[in-house]
Chains A and B, each alone.
Chain A
Amino acid sequence: MDRRQLLKLLSGAGAASVLTNPLQPALASPPGFDDYKALVVVFLLGGNDAYNMIVPMGDESASAAVGTGYQTYRNSRGHIAIEPTDLSGLSGNPYAAENNSAAYQKGVYPVAGDIGINGVMPELAELYANNQAAVIANLGTLIEPVTKATRNTAALPPFLFAHNHQQRAMETGWADHLSAGGWAGRIADLWQAHALGGINNNSPLGMNVSYGGATRMMTADFNSPVVLNAGSTRIFDTSRGFDPDTFRAMNAANSSDTALSRVLKASYRKTSDLNALMADQFQLTLDFSDLSDPYGNPLFSTPDADQLELSGRMSGRTLSAARDVARMIQLGRNVLGLKRQIFYIGMGGFDTHSELTTYHPLLLRELSLTLGSFQQAMNSLGIADEVSLCTLSDFARTLGNNGDGTDHAWAGHHLVTGGAVNGGQRYGEIPDLTLDGDADVGRTGRLIPGLAMDQYLATLTRWFGVDDADMASLFPNLANFKPVSSDPISSAYINGLFTL
């Protein structure tokens, strides 16, 4: 099929429905970017206990507002609190201790913004000190601003504290429209990633690549992510006569296809297309094995137990996924000439109802190592300014605990790293940490967000290239967070996070 035939096909039914889709503004042409940007989302699945990742360090007897400092933090958290000990001067493994709990609770790296970074996260502390990491404090899903006084009258996101719907709110950027497409998917629709002439010129890679399953975040009306497992350098095994082109041809669309067959065959054809790309191109990208991580291992390796000095296993999947993202960025940017890419990495295990102090340190350790290694890789490619990474999570966890773990809560802290971010700072306020206090919507420390997810995502995607004019349709509740309703939409962004 030549290009003319293909265009003719595209001008048929598919293209017509593009124009009639209410969620998709009619678009003369997608933005003609002449630069490259990538946004990497690390989703901390299960609900990260963010208040033990970033510890409030304010001194309430001095400058910090009552209830927002370490004293209240410690009272509320009880025996799971992180010690305020400053680990930053130590040589060797700063968090070394007799067991995971002790290592986890041993201390923090005090950094600007009256916060301490958990002692098992030295790489994050270093990025922060180098202004390549920022902390967004007390962020969560919202529809409109909420206070304890208005919690019964304000519109609240439905199904707070339920994993799947709060994940979905983060994925859609639209907390009260649970069947919406994902925000990354809708950007791909908006920029017509599925079409010739659209963003990335209809590359088989599309705009969105997931190393964490077919996430809704990247699925919308016309675009769904390329989904890969971490560690995949090829797709099909062709050693025994399997021919991806035959597989593609046998799954050609057929006029008698029902919707189910149509969807299935499309996914199979997409797999074949991806296979060609991976087999021919991905394998040629740098895998960063010539760089070293803090343990002296090749970058993105999983440290062994002796190196780690924690008990239990680090899964290493997030590290591996981050390496593949770094390779995909080379492929997209340098080989295929793509303009915009969003990557999703799913990191599981954060639902720490039990054994928080045993397992959370392993997770935070891998997260920190991943952030440090990924930044190192981007620095080595000289594209640190073009790539930003951010975290999302279902929710944070209760400040109070259930004996050996914490339960589902609401607002928590998030991280943004990269060369473009104005790092070394905390954005957003630490709230009153008192159980049943002014920011607690319950009695066990389910904190009301001070910043909305919408503001966070809008700030990130604005950096990524979404126009101010498209923000209101991309994040329909964003306008509720403008300080003054007559202000422009940009007033709802997190001010200063990026130099826009």
Chain B
Amino acid sequence: MNRQAGFFAWKPALLLAAVMAISGCGSDDDSQTAPIDADADNVADDLDNCPLVFNPAQQDSNANGLGDACENSSNPTASPQATASATAEPQPSPTASPTSTPPLDSASPTPSAATPTPAPSIEPTATPPAATTPSPTATPASSPSPAPSTAQPFPTATPNASPQPAPDAPEPGPFPLLPGLDDHGNTSSSATALTLGTPMWGYLETIGDQDVFSIDLPAAGRYTFDIKGFNTDTLNATLSGPGNQNVAMTYEPDGNAAYAAFDIASPGRYSVTVSSPLPGTGGYYVTAAEPLETRANAYRLLRQTTFGPVQQDLQQIVDFGLHRWLDKQLAMASPGDDTARDTQLERTIDIATSVEPGADWFPANPNNGDAASQGEHFNGLASNNTDEYQLSSWYENALHAPDQLRQRVAYALSQILVVSLNNSQLAQRPEALAHYYDLLLEHAFGNYRDLLSAMARSPAMGFYLSHQGNQKANTSRNTVPDENFARELMQLFTIGLYQLNPDGTAQRDANGQLIPSYTQTDVEEMARVMTGWDLRYNSSFGRSDGSFVHMMEFVPDYHDFGGKQILGSSIEAGMQDGADLEAALDLLFLHDNTAPFVARHLIQRLITSNPTPDYVERIANVFLDNGQGVRGDLAAVTRALVLDNEARNPEGPEVEYFGKAREHVIAYTAWMRAFNAEPVNGWHASGDNAGVAVDGIYRIATESALGQAPLRAPSVFNFYSPDFVPADAYYRDADPQFVLPEMQLRIANNVAGLARVLNPGSYVLEKRAIEREYGSVDDFVAAENARETPNWRRYPLLALLDYGPALDAFELAMEGDSNGDFASINDEDTDADGYTPKQRGIFGLITFLQDQMLGGMPLDAEFRNAVVPLLDSGAYFERPVSQAAIEAERVCAAAVQMVFMSSTNMTQK
């Protein structure tokens, strides 16, 4: 988004590195042949898994050969110190001595390996300089020191430096062109050979430089090329195979990285050419590799971190690994920060105004003096269906947002910092929920402290826990402040009821009793803090005619300005503008309980119901310090809890206590994502808006069937208790007891409800069946609209799903083609194994669904033994010859339903 347009900005720091690394920088001591260590981390470049970034620890958690420092998207190479120091003192071109001849030999696999360059360091044991002090190597060239400055061309990446965007670099001086220096050849005949799985770095030293690499891929199979630039601004990469057949490369949105993954049928030589599309330079890595991850692991990650695995994400992870996917997910801007995307509030408004264009959505509010908008703001009271529009907006995001991890974390947060439509005021103003969810999305990878502040000031929470309009004690009316928010803020959002150890286990007193973390007096004091907050544009304090889509405002007249004593700390009297709210949030944020409390809840929502105390403590520690001294960094917490060994342990599925029951909402979205759900276009609204055709809008009314819907918990205690213990001795006898929170919702009606909404017919609009029956989806929509009173509301899920791939797999296994005639579905002839074509088809179908929808996770033998006979010969699944396609659709629909209802799918391990 902030790409520098047009002119390719020189990156002097990088350039300097390139020059240093290549030249060896004129040591006059030929006897010293220290290897090049461009990042001064005391790991020579040819051994360094990330040679441009200071990473003495050489961490490589995915063991792909490329260090974490290079895989981390927030790569700090362009730190201000580096840029400034190098710019201040441009390095004159050294005169290459014979012994320090740069590795021009393009056949050498790496520059440094080819030439053990002498590099006597000024600081052989270079410790990274503090972030605030200029590098001692900033002025090497100005000193006539014989020692070259190879030690620290990038004195940048102090491990504890806080990640901050580099300020604009000072305009660099004229680029010292170094004719003749080039690390990799420019043509295929001078290409550098790559080794599978070994990253190689290179530099585009001069304008117009291009570097060519080649590799002989040894056998048929799948391979990847991955090129990542550092300070390249943008780069070009072309990949060609035998016969100069080009393989398309995909570019990251910032243009600074490119990748390709492809299958080859036979061995062959492939070459990749790296250049810059603009006259530019910079460094980069290129890696040729085999896929990094198994499908099973990738699938598992996606079940934990998305609203349902889809093939594209799955393949990305298989090809390039968990880390890269995670990095990309964490780097994606929130909808609120990305103008190209709609927030949930914006989308809710779009949908509302599209479906009910005649409603008075923006009534003037005389209390809103905003001249530009004539006092208008969105008001959900205009319709009884505003809650549907808000929910449609939520489902759209869950189903289609590219930042799935952010969406899932926000959803997890919505089950910790609970607000709900089940509230008399919010039921009428659902836009407050959309506004609130946007806050969760915005802060999901931000800081928990900021999130607390936003949550506390949001109109949704203000109404849900009734601190909106809360006022100081009134002795004449004999009233005291409302304690609702004050209590739940402590009990449910931050510190919990009792003192915790750093690993989230309960502290006990000498008598073995839990130790309360606050007292009733703390609640009463906190309630005094939570006074004087009101809706913006309210007619008077505590009313509800103001805006539900602006943050609440502080109204001093109703605030208790006295000093407060909370949790043993004082909040001084007279703090202005609601500053005591922030002071109170600080107390809670800094409380020892908060880190393990939040860590445990997030782990439970995403990964496992019963994290080990060690797991909780590891994540709590990241909450306490993200590695850069920052407390509450939710992106770091998310990364850590997803990558933790306990989450990733390949044995996890067999670990008795590991995993969780899959939440119905998530199982449901996963099903829709797996079958490419899309909105039905052209359906007509009803009632006052009859005849209004609606495009691109879902309507999803399955809350009662699933037993839950987002932002619709029955109380602030969420859909289920985090310590729900099932009636099973394994769980009840553990000490402390093991829990399965999501099982609390697995009641008869909800189990049956999920089964019902997964079954096509009037419940699901399936594309292939509609096309068969109506000719096209458009014709179907037209036919429904042409009814005397079109009733689209009878579809609990107004969305199209495509079972085509499943039908094709069924037919292919049954009769060897996928032409849609299902000609042999009624044949009784058996094959050599004794199976009829339909039976073969069913086997193939289940295998297809297992592979595509369950990521290959095993289904029980009991599953097949029960389901196959039903689909084969159940009365509903046997149709006359003339209805072969209908029979096939029924079989497929039921197979999908059963696979999704299987214990394999409904558990997450």
| Contact A243-B424, Cβ < 8 Å, known A78-B478, A226-B748, A250-B860 | no
Is the CB–CB distance between A264 and B903 below 8 Å? yes
* Residues of chain B from 868 to 885 with CB closer than 8 A to chain A in the complex: 870, 874, 876-877
Is the CB–CB distance between A407 and B752 below 8 Å? no
| Closest-CB distance, A22 to chain B (whole angstroms) | 10
Is the CB–CB distance between B747 and A242 below 8 Å? no
Is the CB–CB distance between B761 and A250 below 8 Å? no
Q: CB within 8 A of B477: which of A247, A263, A403?
A: A403
| Contact A181-B484, Cβ < 8 Å, known A228-B749, A247-B901 | no
Using CB atoms, name the residue of chain B closest to A221. Answer: B732
Is the CB–CB distance between A250 and B731 below 8 Å? no
Is the CB–CB distance between B497 and A165 below 8 Å? yes
Using CB atoms, name the residue of chain B closest to A241. Answer: B876
Q: Which residues of A contact B756 (CB under 8 A)?
A: 236-237, 242
Bound form: Cα–Cα A214–B715 in Å: 15
Q: CB within 8 A of A400: which of B478, B661, B876, B909?
A: B478
Is the CB–CB distance between B482 and A223 below 8 Å? no
Bound form: Cα–Cα A312–B716 in Å: 22
Q: CB within 8 A of A159: which of B497, B747, B751, B906?
A: B497
Is the CB–CB distance between B748 and A271 below 8 Å? yes
**A291-334, CB under 8 A of B: which get 1 and which 0?**
00000000000000000000010000000000000000000000
Is the CB–CB distance between A250 and B863 below 8 Å? yes
Is the CB–CB distance between B865 and A249 below 8 Å? yes
Residue A99, interface by CB 8 Å: no
Q: Which residues of A contact B870 (CB under 8 A)?
A: 241, 243, 246
Is the CB–CB distance between A251 and B751 below 8 Å? no
| Closest-CB distance, B713 to chain A (whole angstroms) | 11
Is the CB–CB distance between B728 and A262 below 8 Å? yes
Is the CB–CB distance between B755 and A247 below 8 Å? yes
Residue A413, interface by CB 8 Å: no
Is the CB–CB distance between B424 and A161 below 8 Å? no
| Contact A403-B482, Cβ < 8 Å, known A227-B747, A246-B866 | yes
Is the CB–CB distance between A407 and B743 below 8 Å? no
Q: CB within 8 A of B466: which of A216, A229, A353?
A: A353
Q: CB within 8 A of A213: which of B491, B727, B728, B747?
A: B747
* Residues of chain A from 48 to 96 with CB closer than 8 A to chain B in the complex: 78-79
Bound form: Cα–Cα A353–B464 in Å: 10
- Which of A33-41, A252-260, A415-423, A461-469 touches B? A252-260
| Closest-CB distance, A144 to chain B (whole angstroms) | 15
Q: Which residues of B contact A241 (CB under 8 A)?
A: 759, 870, 874, 876-877, 890, 894
Q: Which residues of A contact B523 (CB under 8 A)?
A: 161
* Residues of chain B from 706 to 731 with CB closer than 8 A to chain A in the complex: 714-717, 721, 723-731
Residue B744, interface by CB 8 Å: yes
Is the CB–CB distance between B751 and A271 below 8 Å? yes
Bound form: Cα–Cα A179–B732 in Å: 9
Q: Which residues of B contact A259 (CB under 8 A)?
A: 656-657, 728, 730-731, 738
Bound form: Cα–Cα A355–B424 in Å: 10
Is the CB–CB distance between B726 and A407 below 8 Å? no
Is the CB–CB distance between A268 and B903 below 8 Å? yes
Residue B546, interface by CB 8 Å: no
Q: In terms of DSSP, what is the predominant structure of the interface of chain A?
A: loop
Bound form: Cα–Cα A34–B648 in Å: 56
Residue B454, interface by CB 8 Å: no
Q: Which residues of B contact A404 (CB under 8 A)?
A: 542
Bound form: Cα–Cα A219–B720 in Å: 14
Is the CB–CB distance between B909 and A258 below 8 Å? yes
Q: Which residues of B contact A17 (CB under 8 A)?
A: 729
Is the CB–CB distance between B715 and A46 below 8 Å? yes
* Residues of chain B from 463 to 522 with CB closer than 8 A to chain A in the complex: 465-466, 469-471, 474, 477-484, 487, 491, 497-498, 513-514, 516, 520
For B, the interface residue count at a CB cutoff of 8 angstroms equals: 93
Is the CB–CB distance between B513 and A408 below 8 Å? no
Q: CB within 8 A of B717: which of A164, A263, A274?
A: A164
Bound form: Cα–Cα A158–B499 in Å: 13
Using CB atoms, name the residue of chain A closest to B746. Answer: A267
* Residues of chain B from 202 to 220 with CB closer than 8 A to chain A in the complex: none
| Contact A407-B482, Cβ < 8 Å, known A162-B491, A261-B903, A270-B748 | yes
Using CB atoms, name the residue of chain A closest to B875. Answer: A241
Residue B737, interface by CB 8 Å: yes
Residue B827, interface by CB 8 Å: no
Q: Which residues of A contact B826 (CB under 8 A)?
A: none
| Closest-CB distance, A141 to chain B (whole angstroms) | 15
Q: CB within 8 A of A348: which of B481, B715, B898?
A: B715
Q: Which residues of B contact A223 (CB under 8 A)?
A: 727
| Contact A158-B516, Cβ < 8 Å, known A258-B909, A261-B907 | yes
Q: CB within 8 A of A219: which of B725, B760, B876, B890?
A: B725
Residue A275, interface by CB 8 Å: yes
Is the CB–CB distance between B656 and A224 below 8 Å? no
Q: Which residues of A contact B714 (CB under 8 A)?
A: 213, 348
Q: Which residues of A contact B717 (CB under 8 A)?
A: 163-164
Bound form: Cα–Cα A250–B899 in Å: 10
| Closest-CB distance, A73 to chain B (whole angstroms) | 13
Residue A442, interface by CB 8 Å: yes
Is the CB–CB distance between A161 and B748 below 8 Å? no
| Contact A263-B482, Cβ < 8 Å, known A221-B727, A228-B749, A251-B862 | no
Using CB atoms, name the residue of chain B closest to A407. Answer: B483
Q: Which residues of B contact A249 (CB under 8 A)?
A: 862, 865-866
Is the CB–CB distance between B744 and A213 below 8 Å? yes
Bound form: Cα–Cα A264–B658 in Å: 14
* Residues of chain A from 153 to 203 with CB closer than 8 A to chain B in the complex: 158-165, 176, 179, 181, 185
Is the CB–CB distance between A251 and B484 below 8 Å? no
Residue B263, interface by CB 8 Å: no
Bound form: Cα–Cα A21–B863 in Å: 33
Is the CB–CB distance between B487 and A162 below 8 Å? yes
Is the CB–CB distance between A359 and B721 below 8 Å? no
Residue A402, interface by CB 8 Å: yes
Using CB atoms, name the residue of chain A closest to B514. Answer: A158
Is the CB–CB distance between A264 and B487 below 8 Å? no
Is the CB–CB distance between B729 and A160 below 8 Å? no
Bound form: Cα–Cα A408–B729 in Å: 34
Residue A222, interface by CB 8 Å: yes
| Closest-CB distance, A356 to chain B (whole angstroms) | 11
**B885-909, CB under 8 A of A: which get 1 and which 0?**
0000010011001100111001101
Residue B660, interface by CB 8 Å: yes
| Contact A240-B893, Cβ < 8 Å, known A235-B752, A260-B659, A403-B474 | yes
| Closest-CB distance, B776 to chain A (whole angstroms) | 24
Q: Which residues of A contact B893 (CB under 8 A)?
A: 240
Is the CB–CB distance between B748 and A227 below 8 Å? yes
Residue B736, interface by CB 8 Å: yes
Is the CB–CB distance between B659 and A258 below 8 Å? yes
Q: Which residues of A contact B72 (CB under 8 A)?
A: none
Q: A240-B760, A251-B862, A258-B909 given; name 6 further pairs at CB < 8 Å.
A: A161-B520, A164-B717, A181-B727, A258-B656, A263-B661, A402-B481
Residues of A within 8 A of B (CB): 17, 21, 45-46, 78-79, 158-165, 176, 179, 181, 185, 213-214, 216, 219-224, 226-229, 232, 235-237, 239-243, 246-247, 249-252, 254, 257-268, 270-271, 274-275, 312, 348, 351, 353-355, 358-359, 400-405, 407-408, 435, 442, 444, 446
* A and B contact pairs by CB, cutoff 8 A, 29 listed: A159-B497, A179-B737, A213-B714, A222-B729, A224-B726, A235-B748, A236-B752, A240-B760, A241-B894, A242-B894, A243-B870, A246-B874, A252-B860, A252-B862, A252-B866, A259-B731, A263-B740, A264-B903, A275-B748, A351-B715, A400-B479, A402-B470, A402-B480, A403-B470, A403-B482, A405-B466, A407-B482, A408-B483, A446-B520
| A-B pairs with lowest CB-CB distance, top 8 | A241-B876, A227-B747, A249-B866, A224-B727, A250-B866, A353-B484, A402-B482, A354-B466
